[in-house]
Chain A
Amino acid sequence: MSELKELLAAEAARQQPTHQPPFADLVRSRRRRDRRAPLLAGALIALALTAAGVPALMRQERTAPSAPSAGVPVTGTLLQVGGPGGIPPRGIAGTVHFQATDGTVTEVLAKIDGRFSLSVPPGRYVATGTPRGHGTSNPSSVFVSNPPEVPTGNSSGAVTTIPDGARLPVCEADAPITVSSGGLDDVQVICQVR
């Protein structure tokens, strides 16, 4: 078998390449290949997900209700109306609550002159208020009016008097207010007193 050994050795020598790539190039090409591998895997996963119907899910996500957007400014006045001697409407201090249709309540303090300002996302709200010193407000016990630009008829027609039983000024508006994306001014929250 020494002949076989010689043949193999001669053939191995003949098979040797005349040149070899620099080792640094070899490492670089491998590094590029390794970098491409995750990208390729990601592309394959994306392709598989696409085939699995992810677009339908994505469409559902796009049509799903969006998260609450940033608030827009709302200003108004907490007013006291009525009372003995026909006192004209005047601003009073207290607390104003904006309850959104999803139940979220935003609370703000009205100053001594009744003015308040807050920021809420656009939408429909039931605004309620509590004069200072009358404890926590209750939507069923406090009046809310629409802003002047929202036609609701006169105050007597728009307001429902809550059955007696408390000395709190109790009123409730017929319609909720609508806050547009541009905000809303002159919201009047009126506390009807007897």
Chain B
Amino acid sequence: MGMGKPPAVLDAVADLYSACYGRLVGTVALVAESRADAEELVQEAFVRLLGRWHHVSRLESPEAWVRTVAFRLASNRRRKARNALRALLRHGPAPDEPPPSTDRVDLTQALRQLPVGQRQAVVMHHLLGLPVAEIADALSVAPGTVKSRLSRARDALAGLLREETHHV
């Protein structure tokens, strides 16, 4: 673990954490089961970053590295379930969030009906603007798999969002 890291590394990672934690949680929450789950994933990714800062600090975007790690962690269902339980035990039930406005389509609910792989592909491609090849590399899958996931996700979301729109 990175607990014995030099203060300079701790400071550098802490700076990155302060700068992009909220943004990363917001993005990862679209893939995770909940925001608490997303926070746990992002925190785990940052802790891993401590031990790899020497390498990651040379990358173009350390934030992207953290996000990718969080996405990969989200893929692990068993880990995800365990983290959710930890988050529940550590933080208690999620605080009450303001109810969605009536004119807003609950995209999160629609996303959570998709398999996690499709969620990852949608968020990475449509929100983060990553090309298929880069997504495939980040998720360790074939580019064709990413294309397939994107296609299925778009079809599913189109139907789900249409339903939501009709219900609103």
Given contacts A7-B105, A23-B46, contact A13 B126 (CB under 8 A): no
In the complex, which of the residues A1, A7, A17, A31 contacts B39, with contact meaning CB atoms closer than 8 Å? A17
Task: Assess whether A24 is in contact with B26, with CB atoms less than 8 Å apart.
Answer: no
Task: Assess whether A27 is in contact with B50, with CB atoms less than 8 Å apart.
Answer: yes
Task: Assess whether A1 is in contact with B21, with CB atoms less than 8 Å apart.
Answer: no
Contacts of B129 in A (CB 8 A): 5
In the complex, which of the residues B2, B27, B105 contacts A12, with contact meaning CB atoms closer than 8 Å? B27
- Binary A-proximity of B12-31 (CB < 8 A = 1, otherwise 0): 01100110011101110110
In the complex, which of the residues A1, A11, A17, A23 contacts B17, with contact meaning CB atoms closer than 8 Å? A23
A-B contact count (CB 8 A): 79
- A17–B41 Cα gap in the complex (Å)? 14
In the complex, which of the residues A8, A17, A23, A27 contacts B22, with contact meaning CB atoms closer than 8 Å? A17
Task: Assess whether A26 is in contact with B46, with CB atoms less than 8 Å apart.
Answer: yes
- A6–B133 Cα gap in the complex (Å)? 23
Asked whether any CB of chain B lies closer than 8 Å to the CB of A16, the reply is: yes
Asked whether any CB of chain A lies closer than 8 Å to the CB of B73, the reply is: no
Asked whether any CB of chain A lies closer than 8 Å to the CB of B8, the reply is: no
Task: Assess whether A13 is in contact with B13, with CB atoms less than 8 Å apart.
Answer: no
Chain A nearest CB, measured from B13 CB (Å): 7
Q: Which B-chain residue is minimally distant from A34 (CB atoms)?
A: B1
Chain A interface main SS type: helix
Task: Assess whether B23 is in contact with A1, with CB atoms less than 8 Å apart.
Answer: no
Chain B interface main SS type: helix
Contacts of A15 in B (CB 8 A): 25-27, 29-30, 35, 38, 108
Contacts of B21 in A (CB 8 A): 17, 20
Asked whether any CB of chain B lies closer than 8 Å to the CB of A9, the reply is: yes
Contacts of B27 in A (CB 8 A): 12, 15
Task: Assess whether B127 is in contact with A30, with CB atoms less than 8 Å apart.
Answer: no
Q: Which A-chain residue is minimally distant from B123 (CB atoms)?
A: A8
Given contacts A11-B107, A12-B27, A14-B26, contact A27 B39 (CB under 8 A): no
**Complex interface residues of chain B between 1 and 15 (CB less than 8 A to chain A):** 1-3, 10, 13-14
Chain B nearest CB, measured from A23 CB (Å): 4
Contacts of A23 in B (CB 8 A): 10, 13-14, 17-18, 46
Task: Assess whether A16 is in contact with B17, with CB atoms less than 8 Å apart.
Answer: no
Asked whether any CB of chain A lies closer than 8 Å to the CB of B157, the reply is: yes
Given contacts A7-B107, A27-B3, contact A12 B17 (CB under 8 A): no
Q: Which B-chain residue is minimally distant from A18 (CB atoms)?
A: B22
Binding site for B on A (CB under 8 A): 1, 4-5, 7-17, 20-21, 23-24, 26-27, 30-31, 34
Q: Which 8 pairs, one residue from A and one from B, show the smallest C-beta to C-beta distance?
A: A15-B29, A16-B26, A12-B26, A23-B14, A8-B127, A16-B22, A15-B26, A23-B17
